[in-house]
Chains A and B, each alone.
Chain A
Amino acid sequence: MNVRIGRIAVGLLFTLFVTAGYAQDLAERVSEYTLDNGLRIIMVEQDFAPVVSINLMFDVGGVDEPPGLGGIAHMVEHMAFKGTRTIGSFDVAAELAALEELEVAAKALEYAEGADIDDATLAAFEERFAAARERAQSLASPNALDNLFSANGGVGLNASTGYDRTDYRISLPANRLELYARVYADVMQNTVFRGFYEERDVVREERRQRSEDSPQGVLFEAFLAEAFRVHPYGVPLIGPPDEIEGYLATEAEAIFDLFYHPNRAVLVIVGDVEPERDIEMLERYFGTWPRGPEVRPEIPEEPAQTAERRVEVTFDAEPQLLIGYRKPTVPERDAYVMDVVDYVLSNGRTSRLFDRLVTEEQAALSVSTSSSFPGTRFPNQFVIIAQPQAPTTPAELEAVIYEELERLATEPISESELTKAKNQLRANTIRALQSGSSLASNLAYHELFLGGWERLIDDLEIYDSVTAEDIMAVAERYFVEEGRTVATLMPEESAAQAPEGE
């Protein structure tokens, strides 16, 4: 069959129309409530199947951590799965007493490790700690919270910690919503950090797996430390290894007490809900959760950058290249323009960087970009990551990328190329809403940080207003050498000298 090309104008008109229709439809299905304690609850009626997807998000993340406790936000997130005084304990009084003794033993061991003592004395402290840990373990059921949700058909029980926020997710058969409310209202008020020191070791393993044995993990950590020398976006999100190894349970509990309040959270429920009926039940449980102080740590600004920053790491892997540029964040208009630039540069085979680096010059295996890395609460970075294809070197790849960025700043983008990027941005916004859990987390994030859940749809109008001149202007303003950080990963000497591949 022959396909005629030439209906260029149709695309944009259409996507405007369908997304506008969807926006109105979404607005009609949303019910919003705020409990007396400040908890915002958003329910979205979606009766495709009798299930609910739930996201409870806090405006607390890695950036809020005190010095010396890097990664503690993530550790707290792990501990929120350990159960409560009424979920998991065989004998709550005995268990709490055992956990107190364990904490003393943990602190004593920590001091002993830093002291000048003989091995036998140290071993005694280790044994005391091990015995206390075993005693506490014997008084509780492991993974009781997960067992309860699993047996009730829950799927996707998970949580994630970012620099900006922390969220807790699950999907359940719709008639198990009360089970969710009972368990999570309890977790927020009566959590027990049981198994803390075992979990500290788990997180240490997670760090080894994600950040130490992974070339990308190593590269990103080095990049962030260089790009953010003062701002906490530069601290590893999972925490530095020595800080992880030094966490105490009481420190994590203090972080939980300080930050986990209903007035800092949004609860989004998407699915087969009846808001007027369900809000009463939700209030019965979550309404008992007391409002708390909103402690906002002073987060230092990253000072002005005056010169390019470069870092090279060596690793047993083939080369990788990561380039970042400082930029402002939303709601500044330039941040939205940079989102469109992201599409122009790397979304799809015809995007500028993919077309030139991968298809035309065969200089890279892959290339991708992100316009808001590693978070959006604070000024962030536009990043470009590429894997050079031999024999191209990272330095050669870098030079070609700079040519493309320069072209963006000096030649106006054509109307059809701009329209294509906007079409893709709109279509991807819709595609991201296909799953209930993705819709729930998107709504929660927009409600917490971007001025309301409605921004998810309303922001599309800002994107539509972006012009070719806007693109040139931001490229000229931000793609500058003195705003740049470049991180490269290179093979170790021995590996580099070995014959290449097959």
Chain B
Amino acid sequence: MIRRLNRSFFLFATTLALLLGITFAQQTGSNGVPTGIPEEWLDPTALTFEDIEFAQLEPTRHVLSNGIIVYLLEDPSLPLVEGVTYLDVGSLYDPADQVSLASLTATLLREGGTQDLAPAELDERLEFLAASIEASASTSLTSVSFSSLSDNIDEVLGLYADVLSSPGFDARRLEVARGRTLEAIRRQNDNPVQIAVREFNSRLAAGHPAGYYPTADTVNAISRDDIVSFYETYYKPNISVMAISGDFDTDTMLATLEEVFSDWETGEVSYPDLPEYDPTPEPQVYLAQRDQEQSVIIIGQPSVYAYTPAYNDLSVANEVLGGGGFSSRLFTEIRTRRGLAYATGSQLGQGFEYPGTFLAFGITRTDATTQVLSLILEEIRTMQQETVSPEELEIQRSSIVNSAVFRETSAAAAVQRTARANELLGLEPGYYNRYIERVQDVTVEDVRAIMAQELNPDQMLIMVVGNAEGFDGSLAEFGEVVPIDLE
């Protein structure tokens, strides 16, 4: 029933003892210290495993008569059906003076009822059926999802199609949504991590919609007409991709989708030009002064596009630096060895419309702020100058190939990932499989070279949210300090 492509992966038969540098003491340690290990227990680093073959989940692709591309994957293991429609529009198309337009449009699409049903009637019917429909906008995509018990699927799909193709945009519900958005803005300085992320992103992408954050003014500038106009411009079946998984029959599902979406009319979508993404943040240190126990530190820069060869190498380098959890350098050095943070690490964003962001972070007690900042910069610089050990690299490469099977554990995740990758992100088919193969060829010298080529710690933007009165040193050592006023 579950269609899988017969392409096999082989998990490594491990001989990791040497590679991992994990020592294994014998049944009796040196000087006769008992280890408590029964004789028949094996050295865990020497345990070898047979190659495991697994088939990849393979959704089927269909095109409805009005142009909607549909990916389907049957999974009868639970009596549920889940789906999502991705519309190729996101908050990147918010006008600068109406930031939140894409987001409020999505919210009101769901909360504003349909042409036939008042908002409260729609909510009541869905919740009686224990079903849900939700809509939200990210920078690049708008997602409208549903979840239903399989026996109610026909009725839920009917409601879902009405929400997408004939929304009511109830004016009172707009004021409810606006009020909640304004309240969220009022609360935007309640949490130090939220402050740091926002202030970092908005400066890194200054001048580009990726760096826009809403204010009361931009939210109050949005009228119901603006929302209807945004909907009429962008919510078209021909820029929509659907991904549905669960307990259904594919032919029946396709027939139902044809019927319920027959009234949704196609239309040409023209996108306005976006400003070029060309951030050249000054190598500056930003300080948001706030009376708190810890400092939140984020250091980063715009980096590479996800579909470039550089991404493969840099993503592996990032795993070694701080993306690979406990095993990574920032975690080992700042957390495990020094106890300076509970949360530390690094991330490499997958950039499609604009380059992904590289960032490293640490949340530490106020009087260790400059120490942690120095340690992060030092770890980045060390990886630019010296090759990492083969053992460190092998842990990350093995982790990537051996955990690939977990991409096939959820039908919903698989069908959604396939739909996005094939139709919306501009990736070559089979991109991820090739990514896994390619990273196996990454060498320690590749890691050093890509770190030196793509990252520049002297040009990174440094964001600190914390109480400067208690810092262990001066932020001025790291560059010109620009204060941020949080009021």
Contact = CB atoms under 8 A, between A and B. Distances in A.
A27 interface: no
Nearest to B79: A18
Contacts of B21: 141
B7 interface: no
Given A3-B159, A318-B187, A434 B410 contact: yes
Given A5-B125, A365-B180, A155 B406 contact: yes
B294 A209 contact: yes
A141 B263 contact: no
Contact of B35 (A85, A317, A366): A85
A285 B410 contact: no
Interface stretch (A329-337, A425-433, A459-467): A425-433
Interface in B305-341: 324-327, 331-332, 335-341
B123 to A, nearest CB: 5
Nearest to B217: A502
Interface stretch (B45-53, B266-274, B450-458, B474-482): B45-53
A76 to B, nearest CB: 17
Interface in B398-414: 398-399, 401-406, 408-410
Contacts of B175: 362
Interface in A66-98: 81, 84-94, 96
Contacts of A318: 186-187, 190
Contacts of B406: 49, 51, 153, 155, 171
Contacts of A152: 14, 16, 49, 398, 402
Nearest to B259: A1
B252 interface: no
Contact of A1 (B19, B121, B162): B162
A500 B186 contact: yes
B128 A49 contact: no
A3 B16 contact: no
B141 interface: no
A412 interface: no
Interface stretch (B62-70, B86-94, B223-231, B285-293): B285-293
B78 A22 contact: yes
A433 to B, nearest CB: 7
A376 interface: no
A213 interface: yes
Contact of B340 (A178, A205, A428, A431): A205
B16 A179 contact: no
Interface stretch (B36-44, B95-103, B236-244, B418-426): B36-44
B25 A205 contact: no
Contacts of B363: 205, 209
A221 interface: no
Contacts of B327: 143, 146-147, 150
B179 A362 contact: yes
A147 to B, nearest CB: 5
A316 B216 CA distance: 20
Contacts of A205: 294, 339-343, 363-365
A92 B30 contact: yes
Given A151-B398, A423-B129, A173 B52 contact: yes
B171 interface: no
Given A92-B25, A365-B183, A389-B183, 15 more contacts: A3-B155, A92-B29, A92-B35, A143-B327, A143-B331, A147-B22, A150-B324, A150-B399, A152-B398, A173-B403, A213-B294, A349-B127, A390-B186, A427-B149, A428-B130
Interface of B: 2, 11, 14, 16, 19-25, 29-33, 35-38, 40-45, 47, 49-50, 52, 54, 75, 77-80, 111, 116-117, 120-121, 123-125, 127-132, 147, 149-152, 155, 158-159, 161-162, 173, 175-176, 179-180, 182-187, 189-192, 215-217, 259-260, 263, 290-294, 324-327, 331-332, 335-343, 363-365, 394-396, 398-399, 401-406, 408-410, 487
8 contacts: A197-B339, A198-B337, A200-B339, A204-B365, A205-B294, A212-B292, A349-B111, A359-B176
- The 3 A-B residue pairs with the shortest CB-CB distance, nearest first, are A153-B402, A201-B339, A502-B216
Interface of A: 1-3, 5, 7-8, 11, 14-15, 18, 21-22, 46, 48-51, 81, 84-94, 96, 137, 141-144, 146-148, 150-155, 157, 171, 173-176, 178-179, 182-183, 186, 189-190, 195, 197-206, 208-209, 212-215, 284-285, 288, 316-318, 347-350, 358-359, 362, 365-366, 387, 389-390, 416, 419-420, 423-424, 426-428, 430-431, 433-436, 498, 500-502
